[in-house]
Structure 1
Amino acid sequence: MKVAIIGLGFRLGYLGRVFRELDPSFEIVGYVDPAPAGMATLAENGISAGVAHTTPEALIAAGGFDLLMIGSPNHMHLNHIRLGLEAGLTVFTEKPIVTSVEESFALASLLHTYGHDRLLVGLVLRYSPLYRDLRKAQAEGRLGDVVSIEASEHIQPYHGAFFMRDWRRYGRYAGGFMLEKCCHDLDLYNGVVGARPRFVASFGGRKSFIPANAPQNSGINDMEVYHRKPSGWEGSDKVFDSDGDIIDYQTAIVEYENGVSMTFHTNLNVPDEFRRFCVIGSKGMAEGDFVRGFMDVHDARTNEKVVANTYSAPSALSQHYGADEQMAEDVIAFVQIGAKQPVSAVDALEAGILALAMDEARFGRKVVDLQPVWEKFDACLHGAPGAVQARSA
C-alpha cells in the first residue's frame, strides 16, 4: 500500500512503523511538512518518507498513492480533507476531525457531496480489544438497557506537561483539550448509548499547572519529568507558566436523547493514571480500565461476575493498548478490499460536537441544548437547501 502524508508529526511517524510491520509493501511516496517531527521515527525503522513537497496541492498532483494520510495540526484538517475529497482520494485523518461546530457543518456538507466512505478517521480506541468486548457484552444482553455511565480519562504529569508546552495548548489550533484528547472517549460512550447527546453542562479550569506549583517553588528544581515527552511545532519550554489557554481538569455531565446520563472527568496531573468506565444497565454493569487492562461484567440480579477479562499491549512499543495495530490492519483492509470500519466520519463529528459543547457550557456556565445543532448538522449532511458549504482556507 502506498500513502502520501500531509503533516508528518510524531503520530504519523509512529503509525508508519505500525503499518510497515503489518504490510511489508507499505510505502510513503511523499509528504508535506516544513518541520517533520515524525521523520526520525521513520528513519529509525528504515522507512523512507518519500519526496518532500512544498504544498498539499503539489503532493496530490504528483499522485501515485492509494491513501492520503492527514496528521497536520487540527485547525488545518478541514482544508486538507477537502483537498483530498475533491481530488477523488481515499483520506485518513487523525482525530479530532475538525475544531469547531461551524467546521463540523462544513465537513458534513462535504460528506454529502463526496460520500461518507472515502473518509477514515483515527479514533483508535474503537479498534481496541477492550471496547470490542464491551460492545459484545452489550450485544449479548448482559447489560440490558443502558441507564447511566461514569467515565474518565486521566493522564500522568509528564503527559499533561506536554499539552502545556505543545501547540495543543492553544484552543485556536487544537479546539480545546476535551476535543483534542478526550474525543476518543466521548466517541466510545456515544456508541454504547446509541443516541446523540442532547443536554450538556461542564466545569473546569487550570489548578495544577500554575506558577505556584512549579517544583522550584518548593526548593526542588527537577523539571526532567515535565519535558520527558517532546513537543513539536510551536513548542515551548514553559510548563507551569504556559501561555496557553488549555485546562488541566474538567468535569462534564451529559443527558442523551434517549434519557441516558453520563458523567465524564479528565485531569492532566494524575500520578497513577487511569482511563476507566462504568456502564450501568437494567440487567448488569460493565466496569473497565484501558490503562490498567481489565473489564468485568456483573449480573444485576445475582451479583455474579459473568465476564472477567484482562488485557495487555502486544509489545512494549505499542500505544493505545494494542488498538493501533488493529486500526492499521482495518485501514489496510479497507484500502485493499473495502472492509467495513468500526467508526465513521459522522461518529467522529458527533463526538467532536459533544466535546465542543462541553467547552461552550464551561465558558458560559450554562446548560447547552444541542437540538438546534443536530438539526443544522443533519441539514448539511443531507444537502438541504441553504446548508453550509465548505470553502477553501
Structure 2
Amino acid sequence: MRFALVGTGLMAQEHIRNLALVEGMQVVALVDPEESSLDWAKASLRESFGTSHDNIACFANVSDMVGAVDVDAVIIASPNYTHHDVLLPLLETDLHILCEKPLCTTVEDAQDIARRVAGHQGVFWVGMEYRFMPPVSSFIADVHTGRAGQLRRLALHEHRFPFLRKVGDWNRFNRNTGGTMVEKCCHFFDLMRYIVQAKPVRVFCSGAADVNHQDERYDGQVPDIIDNSYTVVDFENGVRALLDLCMFAEGSEEQESLVAIGDKAKLEVGIPSGIKVFSPRSAQNTPAEIVREHVDVDSSVLAAGHHHGATYFQLLAFLDAVAGRGPVQVTAEDGVWAVAMGAAAELSAREKRAVEIAELLPL
C-alpha cells in the first residue's frame, strides 16, 4: 500500500517506523508546511526503510497532494486544530484514512466530520492507539468475558512526563488542542466507553494547570493546559469510571495502569510492565488466590514507538479493514464520543460542576 503522511512531526515518525515493519508498505508523499519537519521525515524514512526518500513528493497542503500522486491511504498526524480542514478534501476522495486522535478539537467539528464520513467510500479510522496495547487488549478481553464478574467500577491512571515540545509548541494552549482532557485524555475516555460498553451520561472533572510550563511565555501568554486532574464518569448502565491524570510524575514505575472491579474479582494491568493481576474475592480474613500474568510484546515492535506496540497492532487492524478481513474498530462515531467526553471534562473543570453529556451531544 502507498501511504501519504499529513503532518510529519513526532507522531508521524512513529508511524514511519511501524510502516517499515510491515512488508509491502510504502510512503510516497509527505504533507507539511514546515521544511524542517519534512527533512526530519525524510531522515526517518531513510533510517527505517533503508533507502533514500530525498526525492519523495512533498506538499505544503492536502489540496495540492490530492490527485497529484498515486496514494492508497493517508495517515493524518498534523496538529489537532488542523484535522477538520485537512479532512475536508480527503473525504471527497475514496482514499483510506487513519486520523490521529483527537478527531477534532470541538464536538461540532467532530460531528461534522462524522456526517461526512457516512458518505465516504474508503475506510475511515480514528487513531485510538491505547486499545491496541497488547496488555490492555488482554485486560479488556478479560473484562468482556466476565473474568471479574459484572463490572461495577473502572479506574484508569496515567502518571507521566509533561507534554513534549512540538513545532511552535502548539500543544501548550487549549485553543489549539481542545484542552488536555481532549488532546491527551480522549484515549482514556475512548477506553472507558469501549470497556464499559455503555453511553456516558455525566462527567465531573477537578483539574488545573499547577506545575508544568508555568515559566514559559508565548507572545506574553502563559500556557493554559491542564497538567493534573481527577475525572469521574457516570455511565447509563450504572458503572462509574475514574481517570487519574498527573503529568508531573516522571518517576512513576508504571506510566499507565487500569483497574476493573466486578462483583467477583478485581483485574489490573500496568504499562510498561505488561503485568496483569487477577484478584478474586475471598472470604473475610482469607487471602485471595492472586494470579499474575505477563503479556509479552516483541522488542522490535516496542522499539518502533512510544505506545507499547499499540501503533503497530493498530496498523495491522487498519490494514485488515482496508482488505476486508476485519471491521473498522475505531469509527468516526467513536471519535465524536471521545471528544465529547473530553470537552465535558474541560467544561466541568472550568465551571466546577458536573456536566451532562446531553449538554454537548444528544444521547
How does the TM-score come out when normalised to structure 1?
0.81
Query: What do residues 185-216 of structure 1 show as CA deviations (whole Å, max 9, x unaligned)?
Result: 221121111112111111111222265xx7xx
Match of 1:329 among 303, 316, 319: 316
Contact 2:93 2:120 in 1 (8 A): no
Equivalent position SS for 2:115: helix
Residue 111 of structure 1, CA deviation: 2.7
CA distance in structure 1 between the aligned counterparts of 2:256 and 2:165, rounded to whole angstroms? 18
How many residues end up aligned between the 2 structures? Answer: 347
CA distance in structure 2 between the aligned counterparts of 1:164 and 1:255, rounded to whole angstroms? 37
Query: Hey, what does 1:71 align to over in structure 2?
Result: 77
Pick which of 184-193 and 324-333 moved more: 324-333
Query: What do residues 201-249 of structure 1 show as CA deviations (whole Å, max 9, x unaligned)?
Result: 11111222265xx7xxxxxxxxxxxxxxxxxxxxxx769x973211211
Q: Which residues of 2 match residues 203-242 of structure 1 at below 5 A?
A: 203-209=206-212
What is the one-letter code of the residue matched to 1:286?
Answer: L
Contact 1:153 1:182 in 2 (8 A): no
Specify whether residues 132 and 148 from structure 1 end up closer, same or farther in structure 2 by C-alpha distance, changes over 3 A only.
same
State yes or no: 1:248 paired with 2:254.
no
Structure 2 residues without counterparts, runs of 5 or longer = none
State yes or no: 1:130 paired with 2:135.
yes
CA distance in structure 2 between the aligned counterparts of 1:3 and 1:81, rounded to whole angstroms? 15
Specify whether residues 189 and 311 from structure 1 end up closer, same or farther in structure 2 by C-alpha distance, changes over 3 A only.
farther
Q: Which residues of 2 match residues 136-151 of structure 1 at below 5 A?
A: 136-151=141-156
Query: Hey, what does 2:203 align to over in structure 1?
Result: 200
CA distance in structure 2 between the aligned counterparts of 1:93 and 1:11, rounded to whole angstroms? 11
CA distance in structure 1 between the aligned counterparts of 2:168 and 2:296, rounded to whole angstroms? 32
Structure 1 residues without counterparts, runs of 5 or longer = 215-236, 379-393
CA distance in structure 2 between the aligned counterparts of 1:164 and 1:87, rounded to whole angstroms? 29
Query: What do residues 286-337 of structure 1 show as CA deviations (whole Å, max 9, x unaligned)?
Result: 1111233211122224632245234456246232112122122222333334
Equivalent position SS for 1:64: coil
State yes or no: 1:186 paired with 2:172.
no
How does the TM-score come out when normalised to structure 2?
0.87
What is the one-letter code of the residue matched to 1:281?
Answer: G
Specify whether residues 168 and 357 from structure 1 end up closer, same or farther in structure 2 by C-alpha distance, changes over 3 A only.
same
Match of 2:46 among 43, 46, 49: 43
CA distance in structure 1 between the aligned counterparts of 2:279 and 2:212, rounded to whole angstroms? 39
CA distance in structure 1 between the aligned counterparts of 2:47 and 2:159, rounded to whole angstroms? 30
Specify whether residues 74 and 164 from structure 1 end up closer, same or farther in structure 2 by C-alpha distance, changes over 3 A only.
closer
Contact 2:227 2:248 in 1 (8 A): yes
Specify whether residues 79 and 338 from structure 1 end up closer, same or farther in structure 2 by C-alpha distance, changes over 3 A only.
farther
Query: Hey, what does 2:248 align to over in structure 1?
Result: 269
Query: Hey, what does 1:2 align to over in structure 2?
Result: 2
Sequence identity percentage: 24
State yes or no: 1:357 paired with 2:344.
yes
CA distance in structure 2 between the aligned counterparts of 1:140 and 1:265, rounded to whole angstroms? 25
State yes or no: 1:309 paired with 2:294.
yes
Specify whether residues 94 and 162 from structure 1 end up closer, same or farther in structure 2 by C-alpha distance, changes over 3 A only.
same
Residue 142 of structure 1, CA deviation: 1.0
Specify whether residues 299 and 14 from structure 1 end up closer, same or farther in structure 2 by C-alpha distance, changes over 3 A only.
same
Query: Hey, what does 2:176 align to over in structure 1?
Result: 173
Contact 1:200 1:367 in 2 (8 A): yes
Residue 65 of structure 1, CA deviation: 1.2
Match of 1:343 among 330, 336, 340: 330
Equivalent position SS for 1:150: strand
CA distance in structure 1 between the aligned counterparts of 2:80 and 2:99, rounded to whole angstroms? 10
CA distance in structure 2 between the aligned counterparts of 1:342 and 1:114, rounded to whole angstroms? 16
Equivalent position SS for 1:366: coil
CA distance in structure 1 between the aligned counterparts of 2:146 and 2:349, rounded to whole angstroms? 36
What is the one-letter code of the residue matched to 1:246?
Answer: I
Specify whether residues 307 and 286 from structure 1 end up closer, same or farther in structure 2 by C-alpha distance, changes over 3 A only.
same
CA distance in structure 2 between the aligned counterparts of 1:142 and 1:328, rounded to whole angstroms? 28
Contact 1:98 1:352 in 2 (8 A): yes
Equivalent position SS for 1:320: coil
Contact 1:148 1:281 in 2 (8 A): yes
Specify whether residues 254 and 78 from structure 1 end up closer, same or farther in structure 2 by C-alpha distance, changes over 3 A only.
same
Specify whether residues 313 and 173 from structure 1 end up closer, same or farther in structure 2 by C-alpha distance, changes over 3 A only.
farther
Residue 178 of structure 1, CA deviation: 1.6
Query: What do residues 82-120 of structure 1 show as CA deviations (whole Å, max 9, x unaligned)?
Result: 2211122211111111111111221222133336x7211
Specify whether residues 297 and 165 from structure 1 end up closer, same or farther in structure 2 by C-alpha distance, changes over 3 A only.
farther
Pick which of 286-295 and 312-321 moved more: 312-321
Contact 1:128 1:321 in 2 (8 A): yes
Query: What do residues 242-261 of structure 1 show as CA deviations (whole Å, max 9, x unaligned)?
Result: 73211211111111111111
Query: Hey, what does 2:158 align to over in structure 1?
Result: 153
Contact 2:207 2:229 in 1 (8 A): yes
CA distance in structure 2 between the aligned counterparts of 1:251 and 1:335, rounded to whole angstroms? 38
